[in-house]
Amino acid sequence: MTALEKSESLRNRKNGRPISALTAYDYPTARLLDEAGVDLLLVGDSLGMVVLGFPDTTSVTLDHMIHHTAAVARAKPKALLVADLPIHTYDTPEQALANAKRLVEVGAEAIKLEGGIRQADKIRAIVEAGIPVVGHLGMLPQRVVEEGGYRKKGKTPEQAEFILKGAQAIIDAGVCAIVLESVVPETAASLTQTLSVPTIGIGCGQHTCDGEIAVITDLVGSFPWFVPPFAIPEADVATAVRDATGRYISRITDHARNSG
Ligand code: KIV
Ligand code: NA
């Protein structure tokens, strides 16, 4: 399937089977997740935290994203391959389009960027060039420094209305789906009912959206130093790695040198 066909089939999941999405930042992970049958792979700028060791996503550059998007693309996933535009790479429509094209050149099939009304013109520029765009509303991690932390969104009717207005603006601009992050479950469910494109939730409660996305390290338990409260780990890779490493060290050190 072409990128446009994949993004149209994602859009059509509005009233179909729920969408399963995961982040991936490297070739083997992308291959494993794709072989397992996930619908969408996101090279998220969460890369900054869970792979590159930065405190948040605000240190991620376009070059980081290009490097990791290229690695994921080498897995030739059947899943739609979405890449995040990192902070300050889409300050104008021209810049947004130029940088989206650079991610597409290395294999991204769709682009994701954060924000509502103020991003509509950037989204329109990218979509009009034939590149599918996924939106991202609710908690916007690229604004975590200004906001002073990660907070739940859509708690009051005014906040819910603000997200709805943003969603309508980016749907008009052409997004094929919208990630909702840390929106309280009631608001996420009512937005999902109202909006014409699929919502993909993270931190919005279970079964409130048209699908869910998770950060792969949260799912497999490979980044134990920070686990968001909403994460539901399905494996404990950190323990497996520590144990394997311990056994490896013992294998080497528990025996006297064989002098032959
Ligand atoms: O970067 C990321 O991992 C994301 C998801 C949390 C949606 O944007
Ligand atoms: Na992101």
Average pLDDT of span 199-207: 97
Q: How confident is the model at residue 99 (pLDDT cuts 50, 70, 90)?
A: very high
Q: Residue 45: CB within 6 Å of ligand 1?
A: yes
Q: Residue 84: CB within 6 Å of ligand 1?
A: yes
Residue 201 to residue 188: CA distance in whole angstroms: 8
Cα–Cα distances in angstroms (integers) from residue 212 to residues 4, 56, 73, 203, in the given order: 21, 22, 22, 9
Cα of 177 from ligand 1 centre, angstroms? 14
Q: How confident is the model at residue 257 (pLDDT cuts 50, 70, 90)?
A: confident
Ligand 1 atom at shortest distance from the alpha carbon of 112: 8
Counts for the chain of helices (H) and strands (E), in that order: 11, 8
Residues with catalytic annotation? 181
- The reply to whether 45 sits in an annotated binding site is yes
Q: What is the pLDDT of residues 133-170, one digit of tens each?
A: 999 999 999 999 999 888 999 999 999 999 999 999 99
* pLDDT over threshold 80, residue 258: no
Q: What percent of the chain has pLDDT over 90?
A: 95
Classified as helix, coil or strand, 45 is coil
For ligand 1, atom 5: residue with the closest CA = 44
* pLDDT over threshold 90, residue 68: yes
Ligand 1 atom at shortest distance from the alpha carbon of 23: 3
**Can you list the domains of the chain with their CATH numbers?**
3-253 (3.20.20.60)
